[in-house]
Amino acid sequence: MNIVDYIKKFGDTPLTCFNIRQADVMVLTVLSYIDFSMVADEFHTFTKISDAINQLFAFGIQEKGKNMAFLKSLKESRRFSDLYICGYRNEFDSLSHATQFSVITIKISESLWFISYSGTDGTVVGWKEDFQFSYLPQTPAQEKARQYLAAAAEQLPGNFIISGHSKGGNLAAYAAIFADQAVQNRINTIFCNDSPGFNQQINLLEQPGYQRIASKFCCVVPQDSIIGQLLQTLPWENYSVIHSNSPSLIFQHDMFSWEIDETGNPCWLARMNSSTRKSMKKLNRMILNLSISERKELTNLIFDWLEEKNIHHLEAIKYYLPWQYLLHFR
């Protein structure tokens, strides 16, 4: 079953800080992809998830397909419907600045908060920022993520679970690593769900902030992970492999394809597909062989062309992205 099925099957028991499990982390991580800007924009403004969803429907916002099923199941679930959300951000800047940033905070209890950073939304701006991970020491969204965590820690009591999917997992890691030590002491776990890593300019593993919280990282990837292996930085010991029911390398990235067993636990695998792992190691070596300036030049060439063609969303061309052809490396 997927996370929607999980919500329906295990929805009778309210979620607390004592019974949160990995599947709940997946559910709350996906929640950051929903646009709650109308109902929960400050840390001091709390809205029940069920009320927020009702307001979204009342405003005429209609999510499509799996997102609609996800929202309906959340609304009807005792486990999640009475949780409170706050602090929603959704910021978008021009292609020249390449900033796409979205995040939400969920109140698990008076002493535990879940911060969920959203991944790339499919806009050209969002994808350009992903490419910038390969050459910038810091992207605009990474700094926003750090500032957001600092603001949440200042205004909210208790401890934090920090999570994100895709780019969001990179933002979660960055925010936690570069947080003040007092904030780091309040972080329970950082979940990076099929998330890209960092370029060598950051020298991540040598950062004092990383060394203080290295044991708190949990990285989850599907069996044929592509995005989650790009610029892999964190040690492989932090990784767990979950089974995706999608045969497509691209769509295994979708958390709705990640499988949960009948006991409510993720369907863990012993290892990634060896050929995919080998392919991604080769691709990462190719990236490392490019200078920082060459990576920047390549990124600008790609996105200048997209801007010239007036392409603002990658929905129509996502099947032609370079990692579509990773099989050639096998």
- Which residues of the chain register pLDDT less than 50? 95-96, 316, 318-330
pLDDT computed for residue 120 by the predictor: 72
**3 state DSSP class of 158:** coil
The tokens of 29 are what? 């991580």
DSSP string, 163-213: EEETHHHHHHHHHHHTS-HHHHTTEEEEEEES-----GGG-GGG-HHHHHH
Contact 29, 106 (CB under 8 A): no
Entry pTM: 0.88
Residues whose CB falls within 8 Å of the CB of residue 124, separated by 6 or more in sequence, listed in order:
95, 303, 306, 307, 311, 312, 313, 314
CA distance 217 to 167: 16
The tokens of 234 are what? 């964190």
The tokens of 95 are what? 């292609």
Tally of structural domains, the chain: 1
Residues whose CB falls within 8 Å of the CB of residue 5, separated by 6 or more in sequence, listed in order:
260
Q: How many CA atoms lie within 13 A of 316 on its CB side?
A: 6
- Give the residue among 255, 282, 111 at the shortest CA–CA distance from 169: 255
Q: How many CA atoms lie within 13 A of 140 on its CB side?
A: 16
pLDDT computed for residue 305 by the predictor: 65
CATH code, 215: 3.40.50
Q: Which domain holds residue 92?
A: 3-329
Q: How many CA atoms lie within 13 A of 194 on its CB side?
A: 30
pLDDT computed for residue 228 by the predictor: 87
**3 state DSSP class of 48:** strand
CA distance 82 to 16: 11
pLDDT computed for residue 181 by the predictor: 98
pLDDT computed for residue 294 by the predictor: 77
The tokens of 141 are what? 């969204």
pLDDT computed for residue 215 by the predictor: 96
What Rg do the C-alpha atoms of the chain give, in angstroms? 19
pLDDT computed for residue 63 by the predictor: 61
pLDDT computed for residue 301 by the predictor: 72
